[in-house]
């Protein structure tokens, strides 16, 4: 059953330019759905429209099968967690968590039961008598989550709730929020500009840019088969390597940035038009070390090396583009050193350079499947 349905939703502040334009989307019950995009893409505005904090200029919003355009936030049976915590400074943690339940006159015994469960779940049991000023940023965010949890609303909206936390705490909170959502069976709509959060948390992701949907799908689908250049460069860390490319007249070679020539099997690329400007893309982990290999090896000059312990990131130039290779393990590579890299055509994605649309995803990616255990 669909929990939230957006039908041709639009938003305009001046009745001339739409901040959001033609948003059509269905979010299923119990789904963890992530809205991701750069700053100014409209994702927080869309979330606030679902919450009832922003008016809808055009289209229809349905929650639980009922049109709710006209309903105020309190009647939409949802909870919301904000980026800035929104805690009452004069109230204790306990009072902040229970504030909404008291306003709705929930039975006191039921209030205490929900408080106990939420506090244990979020590690707040020893902090219930403190005021917000006595808490760290992570603890304040957990209080905001606790207030949402005790409401028992089936729909929870989160607007970049982890952006004020340090990296280690963000990683921990990602796991906790995901576990919380599964345990309580919530439908969660989560806004973030961090594509790592989107990839690690979402059942499905919607990529938004300039108020328009770029792609909706499972994280691994967006990673392997981005519908356009924007999604290709936005999803994945590091971003996908891109470059201009063209086939040789006989079709036996692909020439990248007038710099690198790759031998190709033309039968793999029969659907790619030869009369269009092309962009090719390849993921950093698909640029392999060429030390012991012979096929499609190219010597490149290293312009940067990042040693991350479990992997090594190597940057080099391909024509006017800066590419990154990601190799597992620790590699003793120095700045300005020339190293051999293998670029295999079956790992290349092809895009139309003018429209940015995907023409063909990686052939090797189509043969691979996510391993089930």
pLDDT, tens only, 202-219: 999 999 999 999 999 999
Q: Does residue 372 have a pLDDT over 60?
A: no
Location of each CATH 2.40.50.140 domain in the chain = 242-367
pLDDT bucket at 84, cuts 50 / 70 / 90 = confident
**What's the pLDDT score for residue 371?**
59
Dihedrals phi, psi of 178, to nearest 5 degrees? -65, -45
Q: Does residue 86 have a pLDDT over 90?
A: no
What does pLDDT average to over the chain? 89
Say how far apart CA 242 and CA 221 lie, in whole Å.
19
Using CA atoms, how far residue 282 sits from 55, 118, 265, 286, 326, in Å, is 42, 45, 17, 7, 11
pLDDT bucket at 156, cuts 50 / 70 / 90 = very high
**What's the pLDDT score for residue 365?**
54
Taking alpha carbons only, the member of 9, 108, 27 closest to residue 63 is 27
Return the CATH superfamily for domain 2-229. P-loop containing nucleotide triphosphate hydrolases (3.40.50.300)
Contact 170, 142 (CB under 8 A): no
Say how far apart CA 202 and CA 217 lie, in whole Å.
10
Location of each CATH 3.40.50.300 domain in the chain = 2-229
pLDDT bucket at 8, cuts 50 / 70 / 90 = very high
Contact 114, 120 (CB under 8 A): no
Say how far apart CA 162 and CA 171 lie, in whole Å.
9
Taking alpha carbons only, the member of 4, 42, 52 closest to residue 189 is 4
**What's the pLDDT score for residue 187?**
94
* Higher-pLDDT residue of 138, 77: 77
Query: What is the arithmetic mean of pLDDT over 164-179?
Result: 82
Q: How far is C-alpha 281 from the geometric centre of its chain's CA atoms? A: 19
Say how far apart CA 27 and CA 153 lie, in whole Å.
16
242-367 folds as OB fold (Dihydrolipoamide Acetyltransferase, E2P) (2.40.50)
pLDDT, tens only, 54-79: 999 999 999 999 999 999 998 999 99
* Higher-pLDDT residue of 235, 269: 235
């Amino acid at each position: 059953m669909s929990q939230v349905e957006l039908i041709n939703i639009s938003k305009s502040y001046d009745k001339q330019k739409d901040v959001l334009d033609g948003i059509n989307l269905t979010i299923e019950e119990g789904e963890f759905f992530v809205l991701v995009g750069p700053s100014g893409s409209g994702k927080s505005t869309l979330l606030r429209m679902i919450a009832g904090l922003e008016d809808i200029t055009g289209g229809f919003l349905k929650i639980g099968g009922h049109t709710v355009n006209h309903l105020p936030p309190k009647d939409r049976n949802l909870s919301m967690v904000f980026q800035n915590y929104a805690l009452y400074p004069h109230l204790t943690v306990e009072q902040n968590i229970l504030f909404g339940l008291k306003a709705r006159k929930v039975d006191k015994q039921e209030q205490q039961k929900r408080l106990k469960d939420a506090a244990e779940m979020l590690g707040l049991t020893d902090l219930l008598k403190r005021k917000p000023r006595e808490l760290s940023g992570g603890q304040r965010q957990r209080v905001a989550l606790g207030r949402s949890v005790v409401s028992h609303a089936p729909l929870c909206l989160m607007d970049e709730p982890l952006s004020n936390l340090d990296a280690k705490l963000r990683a921990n909170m990602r796991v906790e929020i995901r576990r919380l959502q599964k345990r309580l069976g919530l439908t969660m709509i989560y806004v973030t500009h961090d594509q790592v959060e989107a990839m690690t948390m979402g059942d499905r992701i919607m990529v938004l840019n300039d108020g328009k949907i770029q792609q909706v799908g499972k994280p691994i689908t967006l990673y392997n088969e981005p519908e356009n250049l924007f999604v290709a460069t936005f999803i994945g860390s590091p971003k996908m390597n891109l470059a201009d490319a063209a086939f040789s007249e006989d079709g036996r070679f692909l020439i990248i940035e007038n710099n690198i020539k790759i031998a190709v099997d033309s039968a793999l690329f029969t659907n790619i038009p030869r009369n269009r400007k092309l962009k090719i893309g390849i993921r950093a982990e698909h640029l392999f070390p060429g030390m012991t290999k012979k096929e499609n090896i190219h010597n490149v000059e290293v312009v940067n090396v990042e040693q991350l312990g479990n992997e090594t990131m190597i940057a080099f130039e391909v024509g006017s583009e800066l590419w990154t290779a990601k190799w597992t393990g620790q590699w003793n590579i120095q700045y300005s050193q020339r190293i051999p890299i293998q670029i295999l055509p079956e790992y290349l994605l092809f895009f139309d350079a003018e429209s940015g649309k995907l023409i063909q995803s990686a052939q090797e990616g189509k043969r691979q499947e996510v391993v089930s255990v």
